[in-house]
């Protein structure tokens, strides 16, 4: 059925009105001549408001020049396709639009106006922007992951992580703080800073152990606040009651703990912004993601550092060991030579040779112990043993070897302990020998033992050189020796206390030292009368 003219017009009008896009026509002077339903919906003007108005009511002032360009293209009979620009609505809201403008010709083919299809692409543009943002974030994430994974150096890792998270969260500044407080247990240790010079913080001292920081360092998950100054936990601590005067302004606040695989809170990443509500869920999630990567990288870096330190000590140990093994051998060789040249005095040398053999045997037995401990093969033979006998026998051994007097204080009543007597004896010999080695010949050495409930507590006290506090824990690790610069070091491999700790712990006990430099050292050995062993 052929349509007549008026039917065709009605149908065309219906099609135009049902379009999703704004369809507008205008004459060559830019005066609007038609306006469909979607134009009404998109731009907010009703048809009767705009017909006869100039198209420039839709154009932001800084883009008015575009209309001249469009009109001159139309006059030349050229169509404009998908021109992306900005227009505004009646209420002044800006819209991203894509314009297609085609010339309208009269029956003679002259251009008399233009039809304009405007598509609102605001949400499409927003989506594109969002994707761009995510791609950028992914790039930073990927980049950060790669860099921190490739580094075994803690400083580099922490700086990269702080920089990346500060960037991704849009923070004005960010910092990584170690979960270690200073000697007063107050201020946390600043490690890396991004977006602000270190001096900006240092003059105020480090963040203190306040309720706000506690959330992060106790590993209670991340904490985000639109305005930290309004948080009930904020500003409770003297002397500043909040941020000190002149502190970089923090309103928006985000803090994420960095937790190692073993569950220890290594530290925290902290972000600030002077404006409120700057950090969103997505920022928090990103930082959480990176902080997990950072924790792994830090774990690796720590292991690597430990291995390096151990390696260095092993190298040093090889030097010590060769020296230690060689000294008694050289002495023995010397005496043997003397014995050969003066056979009548050979008997005089025997005790000296024998002493060196004892020393060699002790060194070799330490080395064997170490390899057993490291292979997890240290065997203990538990048996009922007299505490009195244990102490007296081993004191006697050390007395004979060192020629030093050793005082002892024992419980009145002997105690039967279930231990590996030979191994525990070795602990006493090691600790007593150290007391003789690291003190002057005339100084007192006292060993005392008491029973406290089900525990035996032994202390070995000397009046020797003492141990600087920073070494106190370390002397119980393998190959560790406190070397005093300038002093010829006493013989030793740095194994005795390590072996002693292994043995004591295998008995369910503990060993540690107190010391005062120049005054003396006390080594404490505590162990149960009978260890409850797992079958
Ligand atoms: P070493 O064979 O070197 O003595 P140890 O493991 O027995 O090895 O001791 C480790 C280090 O601890 C020693 O090198 C020494 O510096 C220090 N040390 C141990 N006992 C004492 C002590 N009683 N007084 C001072 N320093 C000590």
Token code pair at residue 155:
């400083």
Q: Which residue has the least CA distance to atom 18 on ligand 1? A: 434
Mutating to test ligand 1, I would choose from 468, 469, 475, 511 the residue with most ligand atoms within 8 A of its C-beta, which is 475
Is the pTM of the predicted complex or chain greater than 0.85? no
Q: What is the pLDDT of residues 352-403, one digit of tens each?
A: 899 889 888 888 888 888 888 877 788 889 999 999 999 999 999 999 888 9
Q: Which residue has the tokens 């030579």?
A: 337
Indicate if the pLDDT at residue 245 is higher than 90: no
Distance from the alpha carbon of residue 439 to the mean position of ligand 1, in angstroms = 11
Q: Which residue has the least CA distance to atom 25 on ligand 1? A: 466
Mutating to test ligand 1, I would choose from 320, 497, 511 the residue with most ligand atoms within 8 A of its C-beta, which is 497
Distance from the alpha carbon of residue 377 to the mean position of ligand 1, in angstroms = 25
Q: What is the pLDDT of residues 491-527, one digit of tens each?
A: 777 889 999 999 999 999 999 999 999 999 999 999 9
Distance from the alpha carbon of residue 79 to the mean position of ligand 1, in angstroms = 92
Write the CA distances from 79 to 86, 100, 102, integer angstroms: 19, 7, 5
Q: Name which of 60-74, 169-183, 215-229, 503-517 the model is least confident about.
A: 169-183
Over range 55-74, report the average pLDDT. 91
Q: Which long-range contacts (CB under 8 A, 24 or more apart) does 13-21 make?
A: 19/117, 20/119, 21/117, 21/118, 21/119
Q: Band the pLDDT of 178: cuts 50, 70, 90.
A: confident
Find, among 160, 161, 168, 173, the residue nearest to 133 by Cα: 168
Distance from the alpha carbon of residue 475 to the mean position of ligand 1, in angstroms = 7
Token code pair at residue 477:
């690790």
Question: Distance between CA 306 and CA 138 in Å, rounded?
Answer: 33
When the pLDDT of each residue in the chain is averaged and rounded to a whole number, the result is 87
522 exposed, middle or buried (CB, 10 Å; 0-12, 13-18, 19+)? Answer: middle
- Residue 184, pLDDT score: 63
Q: What is the pLDDT of residues 113-126, one digit of tens each?
A: 888 999 999 888 88
Containing H/E element for 297? helix 281-341
Q: Report the percentage of the chain scoring pLDDT > 70.
A: 93
Indicate if the pLDDT at residue 229 is higher than 60: yes
- Residue 1, pLDDT score: 60
Q: Which residue has the least CA distance to atom 16 on ligand 1? A: 482
- Ligand 1 atom nearest residue 466's Cα: 25
Q: Residue 286: what are its φ and ψ, rounded to 5°?
A: -60, -45
Question: Distance between CA 169 and CA 45 in Å, rounded?
Answer: 40
- Residue 485, pLDDT score: 47
- Residue 288, pLDDT score: 92
Distance from the alpha carbon of residue 437 to the mean position of ligand 1, in angstroms = 8
Could you tell me the sign of the dihedral formed by the alpha carbons of 208, 211, 215, 217, in that order?
positive
Mutating to test ligand 1, I would choose from 436, 492, 498 the residue with most ligand atoms within 8 A of its C-beta, which is 492
- Residue 168, pLDDT score: 87
Indicate if the pLDDT at residue 434 is higher than 80: yes
Indicate if the pLDDT at residue 279 is higher than 60: yes
Q: Which residue has the least CA distance to atom 21 on ligand 1? A: 434
Find, among 114, 147, 108, 89, the residue nearest to 27 by Cα: 114
Q: What is the pLDDT of residues 475-487, one digit of tens each?
A: 999 878 886 544 4
Question: How would you label 46-75 residue by residue, b for 16+ Cβ within 10 Å and e otherwise?
Answer: eeeebeeeebeebbeeeeeebbeebbebbe
Distance from the alpha carbon of residue 494 to the mean position of ligand 1, in angstroms = 7
Helix (H, G, I), strand (E, B) or coil at 508: coil
Q: Band the pLDDT of 205: cuts 50, 70, 90.
A: low
The CA-to-CA distance between both ends of the chain, in Å, stands at 100
For ligand 1, residues with CB inside 6 Å are: 430, 434-435, 438, 462, 464-467, 475, 480-482, 492-498, 521
Question: Distance between CA 192 and CA 178 in Å, rounded?
Answer: 9
Q: Which residue has the least CA distance to atom 7 on ligand 1? A: 496
Asked whether 96 and 106 are in contact (CB, 8 A), the reply is no
Distance from the alpha carbon of residue 469 to the mean position of ligand 1, in angstroms = 13
Q: Please count the CA atoms within 13 angstroms of the CA of 110 that sit on its side-chain side.
A: 4
- Residue 209, pLDDT score: 66
Distance from the alpha carbon of residue 93 to the mean position of ligand 1, in angstroms = 79
Q: Report the percentage of the chain scoring pLDDT > 90.
A: 46
For 246, which DSSP code? T
- Ligand 1 atom nearest residue 493's Cα: 2
Q: Which long-range contacts (CB under 8 A, 24 or more apart) does 25-29 make?
A: 25/104, 25/113, 25/114, 25/115, 25/116, 26/55, 26/113, 26/114, 26/116, 27/112, 27/113, 27/114, 28/71, 28/74, 28/75, 28/111, 28/112, 28/113, 28/114, 29/54
Q: What is the largest CA-CA distance in the chain?
A: 147
Mutating to test ligand 1, I would choose from 367, 460, 494, 521 the residue with most ligand atoms within 8 A of its C-beta, which is 494
Domains located in the chain, CATH noted: 5-120 (3.30.450.20), 127-234+244-303 (3.30.450.40), 307-370 (1.10.287), 383-528 (3.30.565.10)
Question: Distance between CA 436 and CA 462 in Å, rounded?
Answer: 8
Q: Which residue has the least CA distance to atom 13 on ligand 1? A: 481
Q: Band the pLDDT of 533: cuts 50, 70, 90.
A: low
Residue 320 CB partners (closer than 8 Å, separation 6+): 479, 481, 492, 493, 494
Q: Band the pLDDT of 42: cuts 50, 70, 90.
A: very high
Mutating to test ligand 1, I would choose from 481, 489, 515, 524 the residue with most ligand atoms within 8 A of its C-beta, which is 481
Question: Distance between CA 528 and CA 417 in Å, rounded?
Answer: 8
Write the CA distances from 461 to 464, 466, 475, 520, 522, integer angstroms: 9, 11, 16, 7, 4
């Amino acid at each position: 059925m052929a349509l007549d003219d008026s039917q065709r017009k009605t149908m065309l009008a219906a099609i135009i009105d049902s379009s999703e896009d704004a369809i507008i026509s205008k004459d060559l002077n830019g005066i609007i001549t038609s306006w469909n339903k979607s134009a009404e919906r998109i731009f907010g003007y009703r048809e009767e408001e705009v017909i006869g108005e100039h198209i420039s009511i839709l154009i932001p002032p800084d883009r008015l020049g575009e209309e001249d360009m469009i009109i001159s293209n139309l006059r030349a009979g050229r169509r404009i396709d998908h021109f992306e620009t900005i227009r505004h609505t009646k209420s002044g809201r800006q819209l991203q639009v894509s314009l297609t403008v085609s010339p309208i010709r009269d029956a003679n083919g002259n251009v008399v106006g233009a039809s304009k299809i405007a598509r609102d692409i605001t949400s499409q543009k927003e989506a594109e922007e969002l994707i761009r943002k995510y791609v950028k974030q992914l790039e930073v994430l990927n980049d950060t992951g790669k860099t921190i994974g490739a580094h075994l150096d803690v400083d580099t890792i922490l700086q990269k992580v702080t920089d990346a998270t500060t960037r991704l969260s849009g923070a004005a500044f960010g910092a990584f703080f170690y979960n270690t407080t200073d000697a007063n247990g107050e201020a946390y240790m600043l490690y890396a800073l991004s977006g602000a010079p270190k001096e900006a913080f240092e003059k105020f001292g480090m963040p203190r152990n306040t309720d706000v920081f506690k959330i992060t360092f106790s590993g209670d998950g991340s904490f985000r606040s639109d305005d930290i100054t309004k948080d009930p936990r904020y500003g409770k601590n003297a002397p500043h009651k909040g941020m000190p005067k002149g502190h970089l302004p923090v309103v928006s606040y985000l803090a994420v703990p960095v937790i190692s695989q073993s569950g220890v809170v290594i530290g925290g990443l902290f972000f600030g912004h002077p404006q409120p509500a700057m950090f969103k869920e997505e920022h928090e999630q990103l930082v959480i993601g990176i902080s997990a990567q950072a924790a792994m990288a830090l774990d690796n870096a720590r292991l690597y550092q430990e291995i390096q330190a151990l390696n260095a000590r092993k190298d040093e140990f090889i030097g010590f060991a060769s020296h230690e093994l060689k000294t008694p051998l050289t002495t023995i060789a010397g005496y043997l030579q003397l014995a050969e040249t003066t056979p009548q005095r050979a008997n005089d040398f025997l005790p000296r040779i024998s002493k060196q053999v004892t020393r060699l045997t002790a060194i070799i037995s330490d080395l064997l112990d170490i390899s057993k401990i490291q292979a997890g093969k240290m065997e203990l033979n538990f048996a009922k043993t007299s505490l009195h006998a244990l102490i007296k026998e081993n004191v006697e051994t050390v007395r004979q070897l060192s020629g030093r007097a050793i005082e002892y204080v024992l419980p009145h009543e002997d105690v039967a302990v279930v231990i590996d007597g030979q191994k525990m004896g070795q602990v006493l010999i090691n600790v007593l020998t150290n007391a003789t080695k690291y003190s002057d010949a005339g100084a007192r050495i006292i060993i005392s033992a008491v029973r406290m409930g089900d525990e035996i507590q032994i202390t070995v006290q000397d009046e020797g050189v003492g141990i600087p506090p920073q070494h106190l824990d370390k002397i119980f690790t393998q190959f560790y020796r406190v070397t005093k610069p300038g002093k010829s070091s006493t013989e030793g491999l740095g194994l005795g206390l390590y072996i002693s700790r292994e043995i004591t712990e295998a008995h369910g006990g503990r060993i540690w030292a107190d010391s005062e430099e120049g005054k003396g050292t006390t080594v404490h050995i505590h162990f149960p009368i009978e260890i409850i062993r797992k079958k």
